[in-house]
Amino acid sequence: MVENQVEVVAVIKIYQMKIVIILICLFCFGTTFSQKDSTNVFKKKVLETAEINFLTSYYGQNGKNASVTGGIGTEKLSDFTSTIVVSIPINADDVLTIDAGISAYTSASSSNGNPFDISGASRNGDDDDDDDDKTYKKAAQVIGSPWIASSGASKSDVWKTVTADYSHSSKSRNTILSVDVSIANEYDYNSFGFGGGFIQQFNEKNSTVSLSGKVYLDTWNPIYPTEIKSFVEENGNLNQGFFNGVTILDQLGNQSSRWKPAKGFELIDIKTRNSYSVSFSFSQILTKNAQISIFTDIVKQQGWLANPLQRVYFGDISNYFIGNASSISKYTSTNNTDVFQLADDIERLPTNRTKIPIGVSLNYYINEIFTVRTYYRYYFDDWGIQSNTASIEIPIKILETFTFYPSFRYYDQTAADYFAPYEKHLSTEKYYTSDYDLSKFKSMQYGFGITYTDIFSKSHVFNFGLNTIDFKYTNYKRDSGFNAGYVAVGLKFLMD
Amino acid sequence: MIKKVFYLAITSIFFSSCVAVKEYEKININDPDMALSQKKLNRFETSYQVYREGASGANGGKSGGGCGCN
C-alpha cells in the first residue's frame, strides 16, 4: 500500500511537471502570436472580455444490478460536481481557457468492495479496502450484503481535474488552432491527457470542417474486492488475516474451507489504460433558418479496460458465503441483509477496444419563439455493442430574457459480447463481466432547462457582470429498473 | 457500414453545394439556441451518460479516458 502511494505520488509529480512545461509552451505560443499582431491598429477580438462560468450539479441514481457485487445489489449513488471555467483573451486572436472541476460521490455499490462492514466499523484497522492492516474485528462482527452500503473507504471518492486549453484564430477568423492539456486524479485512478484541434471555415463561413485529436495516458491504482485481496496476501490460507476466525459457508449453509478464486487469482500486472481519439466534423448552414453538423470519432483504448473492483460469479462452480446461513436462500432478494457471496473472480475484459460513434445534429429556427434542436448517433465497437441515440430539444423563448427548454432523449444498446448476468458466466470463458452498463437495454430521459440572459450584465460581483443563469433537470429510466436524476446550475459572468 | 459512410459523404457534398447564406442573413442562424455545440451546462449530462452507457462520443463530450469510469 505504501509503495503504491509512493508510486502514485511520483506519477502525479511527473504529470504536474509535464503540465508546467506544456503551459510554459502554451504561453510562449501565445506571446509569439501576440507580438506578430502588435502591428495591427485595430482588430475585433475573438473574445472581447474575460468570462467566468461557475457550473455545479447534483446527480442521484438507484438500481438493483451493481457491478461491484457481480450484477446484483444496490446501485445507489449520489454525486456532487462543481466546476469553474475561466476564458481569458490573451490578445485579439488568442484565448486561454482554464477548466477546473471537482466531483465528490458516495456509492453504495463501490462501498461493497469491502462489504463485510455494514455494522459501521471496518474489520480492517485502517478502514480501507486493501486489508493491509493486521488489526481485525471479531469474526462475529463480519456482516455483509450486496443490498446494503458498507462503511469502507471506497464508499466515497473525489475526482479532481484541471484542463488548460489555448486557441489561436487566424486574422480572417476562418481558421482556429488549439492545444490542450489535462490532469485528473481519483482514489484508484490517475489521468494525464493532451490534444490539439484544427477548425477551418469556408464558403463564406457557411461550411466548417474540424479535426481534433486527444490522448489520455491513464494509470490504475487498483483496488480489489476484500476477500480476493486477502486470499492473495495470505497465500490462500483461510485461517489467517481477514479470514482468521471467520466461518465460510457453502450453498447449503455448512461450514467449508474450499472457497478460492476460480482461476488461482493473481493481481493485475497491466495498470495502464491509454485512450487515443481522432474526431472529425463537418457543419453546414443549409438555409437562413437551418444548419446541420455531421461528426464522428475513432477511439482506440488499450490497457486494463476492466475495473478490478468488480466481481464476477460463475454458474458452473460452487458458491461460498460469509454471514447468516439462513439468508443464503434469499441471497438475490433485497430482504437479504446479512450474508455475502465470496467472489469467483474480478471482471476480465480484452486489453483493446475500438469505438466508432457517428452523429448528426440538425437545428431549425422556426420563429422568434420556437427553435428545434435534434440529434442522432449510431455507435458500434469491437466488443459487440451497437447503439442508437436520438434526442430533441425545443427552446421556447417565453420572455425576452427567459428561455424554456423541454427535452427528450431515447437510447438503446445491444449487450457486449462479454456480458452475462449474475451466475450466468462459465469459468471456462476468457473474458467476462456482469456490469449492466454493458448489457442490452433501452432508456428514456425527460428533462427541461431554463435560461435567463441579461445581455447588459447589470448585476455585478466585483468587476464581473452576471450575463446568464442556466438551470437544468433530467429524469432517466432504463427498462432494467435503473433510474437516475440530476439538477445543474450554471452562472456566466463577463468582466467589465 | 461502408455504405453508411458513403451516404454521409454524399450528403456532406450535397450540403456544401447549397447557396451560401450571407453574413447579414445569419441573424437566425446566430441565435444562441441554434448553436451546434452543446451548452457548457450540458457537460454534466454527457458525463453521466458516458458513465452508465456502453456508447460514447460524437457529441463533443468524452469518448473514453480521463477517468476510471468508462
pLDDT in tens, A393-430: 999 999 989 999 999 999 999 999 999 999 999 999 99
pLDDT tens by residue, A57-90? 999 999 999 999 999 999 999 999 999 999 999 9
Section A266-289 average pLDDT: 93
Residue in A55, A301, A385 closest to B40 by CB = A55
Sheet holding A320-323, edge to edge: A248-250, A320-323, A339-341
Nearest CA-CA partner of B53 in A348, A389, A356: A389
Report residue B25 as a C-alpha cell.
442573413
The Cα A260–Cα A248 span in angstroms is 11
Nearest residue to B55 (alpha-carbon basis) of A358, A462, A375: A358
Residue by residue, DSSP assigns A1-17 as: -HHHHHHHHHHHHHHHH
Euclidean distance between CA atoms A260 and A344, whole angstroms: 7
Kindly indicate the confidence band of residue A157, based on its pLDDT and cuts at 50, 70 and 90: confident
Give the residue numbers spanning the domain of A392.
2-495
Q: What is the pLDDT along chain B (70 residues), one digit of tens a residue?
A: 556 655 665 565 555 555 689 999 999 999 999 999 989 999 999 989 988 999 998 877 777 777 766 5
Asked if the Cβ–Cβ distance from B53 to A287 is below 8 Å, we say no
Q: How close is the nearest chain A Cα to the Cα of B38, in Å?
A: 11
Distant-in-sequence, close-in-space partners of B32: CB < 8 Å, separation ≥ 6: A453
State the DSSP code for A343: P
At A477, list the grid cell: 429510466
Search chain A and give the residue with CA nearest B53: A437
Bridge partner residues of A196 (DSSP): A179, A213
Number of helices (H) and strands (E), helices first, in chain B? 2, 0
Distance CA A415, CA A381 (A): 11
Which pLDDT score, from 0 to 100, does residue A32 have?
45
Q: How far apart are CA A484 and CA A465, in angstroms?
A: 34
What's CA A48's distance to the chain center, in Å? 33
Number of domains chain A is built from? 1
Is residue A452 within 8 A of residue A468, CB to CB? The reply is: yes
Residue B3 contacts A, CB cutoff 8 Å: no
| CB–CB contact A286 B15 (8 Å) | yes
Chain B residue numbers with beta carbons less than 8 Å from the beta carbon of A453 are: 32
CA distances from B15 to A285, A362, A400 (A): 8, 12, 33
Q: Do A285 and B26 touch (CB under 8 A)?
A: yes
User: Which residue is it, cell 474489520?
Assistant: A123
Give backbone dihedrals phi and psi of A193, rounded to 5 degrees, phi first: -135, 155
Residues of B in contact with A383 (CB under 8 A): 54
Residues of B in contact with A194 (CB under 8 A): none
Question: Which residues share a beta bridge with B15?
Answer: none
Q: What are phi and psi of A268, to 5 degrees?
A: -65, 140
Give whole-number Cα distances, A140 to A182, A227, A243, A323, A324, in Å: 47, 16, 11, 9, 10
Q: Which of B45, B49, B69 is the mutation pick for testing A, counting most A CBs within 10 A? A: B45
| β-sheet bridge partners, residue A248 | A322
C-alpha dist (Å) from residue B64 to A109, A218, A275, A410: 22, 11, 6, 21
Closest Cβ–Cβ partner in A59, A191, A365 for B65: A191
d(CA A288, CA A403): 21
Give the model confidence (pLDDT) of A347-384 as tens digits: 999 999 999 999 999 999 999 999 999 999 999 999 99
Percent over 70 (pLDDT), chain A: 86
What pLDDT is stored for residue A130 in this prediction?
Answer: 44
Shortest CA distance from A81: residue in chain B: B44
Residues 6-65 of chain B with CB under 8 A from chain A are 8, 11-12, 15-16, 18, 20-23, 25-26, 28-29, 31-36, 39-45, 48-49, 51-60, 63-65
Mean pLDDT, rounded, for A20-42: 48
Calpha distance B70→B63 (Å, rounded):
8
Q: Which element (helix H / strand E) includes A443?
A: strand A441-453
What are the grid coordinates assigned to A104, written together?
465528490
Higher pLDDT residue, A123 or A205?
Answer: A205
| C-alpha cell, A353 | 477496444
Enumerate the residues of chain B whose CB falls inside 8 A of the CB of residue A376: none
Query: Of A230 and A153, which is predicted with more confidence?
Result: A230
* Position A457 confidence tier, pLDDT thresholds 50, 70, 90: confident
Q: Are B18 and A206 an interchain contact pair (Cβ–Cβ within 8 Å)?
A: yes
Q: At A176, give phi and psi (nearest 5°).
A: -130, 130
Longest dimension (CA), chain B: 47
The domain that contains A179 carries what CATH number? Answer: 2.40.160.40
pTM of the model: 0.85
Q: How far is A96 from chain B (nearest CA, A)?
A: 16
**Interface A:B, Cβ pairs < 8 A:** 200
- Between the CA atoms of A397, A403, A406 and A412, what dihedral angle is there, to the nearest 10 degrees? 110
Q: What nine digits make up the cell of A217?
A: 495516458
Q: What is the mean pLDDT of residues A178-190?
A: 93
Instruction: Kindly report the backbone phi and psi dihedral angles of residue A329, in degrees, each rounded to the nearest multiple of 5, phi listed first.
Output: -65, -20
B40, B42, B66 member nearest A216 (Cβ): B66
pLDDT digits (tens, 9 = 90+) for A272-281: 999 999 999 9
d(CA A209, CA A195): 17
Reported as a single tens digit per residue, the pLDDT across A333-344 is 999 999 999 999
